[in-house]
Amino acid sequence: MRIGIIGLGHVGSTIAYTLVLQKMVDELVLIDSNQAKVDAESIELLDTAQNIKHNVTILMDYQNLASADFVIFSAGDITIFENADSDRLAELKVTAKIVEDVAPKLKKSGFSGKIISITNPCDVIALYLTKLTGFAENQVIATGTVIDTDRLINITRRQAVMMIGEHGNSQVAVNHVSKADEMAGRATGWQIYQVKKHTAFGIASTTLRILKAMTGNSNEVLNVSCYDPAKGCYYGWPSMFDGKKFIRQNLELTPEEELSFIKSIETIKQNYQSIEVL
């Protein structure tokens, strides 16, 4: 399997390492604006492959994405939060420009596989990628609220809970979750960032989990972010991969959860519309 990774910061490089370590990939296409970083990561990944006796070919440049099965979009600049706290719109100012640079190159490469977008705000960026590449909406997904659901499960110690909607401050906890636990779930990523100045392990394993669901027959339900034509945006919702695309599953919400979910959708759409004035 050939997988491309665009953006080799903390997240992209951790995903590359995880894919090699798990022997999930035969060919990696590594792309970053910092070519020296690509070269250094390539050396380390080949060292890793040698240690685990796994043959992996590392390629570079967009032209090698033509035959890739997946592209993982993880480009960004985490340092913006040093001055912007948890402002997703501050991040969007940077990541929207990155999409504008990457999208035409990705389209020109002839890539026709699936895109898993991690770059935040991931629901907004997934839609912007779709619009600028001209790819079909079901060709692009985002990691959504999979990681947020994991965090909420860890907090509540209940497997039935989940987060839906925006991967951001408006995300909604469902299945009888207290407001305190919901707020704690929303804050977990920032809690990690305050100490490490990035997050990587959780989202890397989330990406691996999504890839396994898309390449195997696990029938696992994951809260990935998929496009909803009725709402005109991407958002996290429990979904199952049918071999071609993710299909949303039925989920009953309480009136309070439904109201919060509607507000979350409005937040995603407002953030997308803000790209025009950034």
Write out the H or E segment, with its range, that includes residue 169. Answer: none
Q: Which of 125, 142, 159 is the last residue of a domain?
A: 142
Q: Which of 114, 142, 170 is the last residue of a domain?
A: 142
Write out the H or E segment, with its range, that includes residue 70. Answer: strand 70-73
Same domain, 86 and 186: no
Between the CA atoms of 257, 260, 265 and 271, what dihedral angle is there, to the nearest 10 degrees?
-150
Give tens-digit pLDDT for 141-169.
Answer: 999 999 999 999 999 999 999 999 999 99
Give tens-digit pLDDT for 218-242.
Answer: 899 999 999 999 999 999 999 999 9
Fill in the DSSP letter of residue 230.
Answer: T
Q: CA-CA distance, 52 to 10, in Å (whole number)? A: 22
Nearest to 20 by CA among 60, 69, 53: 53
- CATH number for the domain including 114? 3.40.50.720
Are 1 and 215 contacting, i.e. CB atoms less than 8 angstroms apart?
A: yes
Nearest to 11 by CA among 225, 189, 203: 203
Same domain, 9 and 75: yes
Q: Looking at the 3D structure of the chain, how many domains does it have?
A: 2
Q: Which of 142, 164, 184 is the last residue of a domain?
A: 142
Same domain, 48 and 111: yes
pLDDT for res 85: 58
Give tens-digit pLDDT for 95-123.
Answer: 999 999 999 999 999 999 999 999 999 99
pLDDT band at 217 (very low <50, low <70, confident <90, very high): confident
Mean of the per-residue pLDDT values of the chain: 95
Q: Which domain holds residue 268?
A: 146-277
Same domain, 121 and 171: no
Same domain, 100 and 196: no
Q: CA-CA distance, 134 to 151, in Å (whole number)? A: 34
Question: Among residues of the chain, what percentage have pLDDT more than 90?
Answer: 92
- CATH number for the domain including 154? 3.90.110.10
Give tens-digit pLDDT for 13-67.
Answer: 999 999 999 999 999 999 999 999 999 999 999 999 999 999 999 999 999 999 9
Q: Is 119 helix (H, G, I), strand (E, B) or coil?
A: coil
